[in-house]
Amino acid sequence: MDAIFSVWSWIRWIHIVSAIAWIGGQLFILLILLPIMRSVLPRNERILVFAQVGRRYAVVSWVALTLLIVTGFLNGQRRSVAWEHLTDSGYGQILFTKLIFVAVIIVVTLVHALYFGRRITELAERSATIGYDDPKIAAERRRLQIFSGVLSGLNLLLNLIVVLLAAALVA
């Protein structure tokens, strides 16, 4: 019973719950929220609502990602990972690969949030301000939405690979 309440059990639990929040949110948005919003809201309104969802999810996701990084490091310390010799063992090679994917995920997430999300929202707000969907604005917004969708899909795929690598670490 003591193992359930050990510090390391709690650290691993926080790591797992953070992964659920991080990837579960992405899956929820992609598989549930986005299809419903597409079917019930006009394009500009949908974009503005989605911007609000994105801002709220950003708080949850960055907290989750921060906790994943901190608890991941602590889990590595617990397993006596020699960070300077990471690629010397099979475990270390898998962990190194996982860390590379995490670094790419952070970059993709930042680009998506700080450029594409903001720019798409700005264009939708501009259309709302002028009262109609200007063809030039609509074309630019659509182009950005395509790139945004590709980045979101790539991000989800990379995250699912990280989960697979995590499963390989404990197998």
4-13, 111-120, 156-165: which has the highest mean pLDDT? Answer: 156-165
Q: Which residues 6+ apart lie within 8 Å of 102 measured at CB?
A: 68, 69, 72, 162
For the chain, helix, strand, coil in percent to 5 are 90, 0, 10
Phi, psi of 97 (to 5 degrees): -60, -45
Looking at residue 134, its pLDDT comes to 84
What sign does the CA torsion over 90, 95, 100, 105 have? positive
Mean pLDDT, to the nearest integer, of 129-158? 90
Model confidence at 2: pLDDT above 70? no
Torsion of CA 61, 17, 158, 171, to 10 degrees: 160
- pLDDT confidence tier of residue 128, bands split at 50, 70 and 90: confident
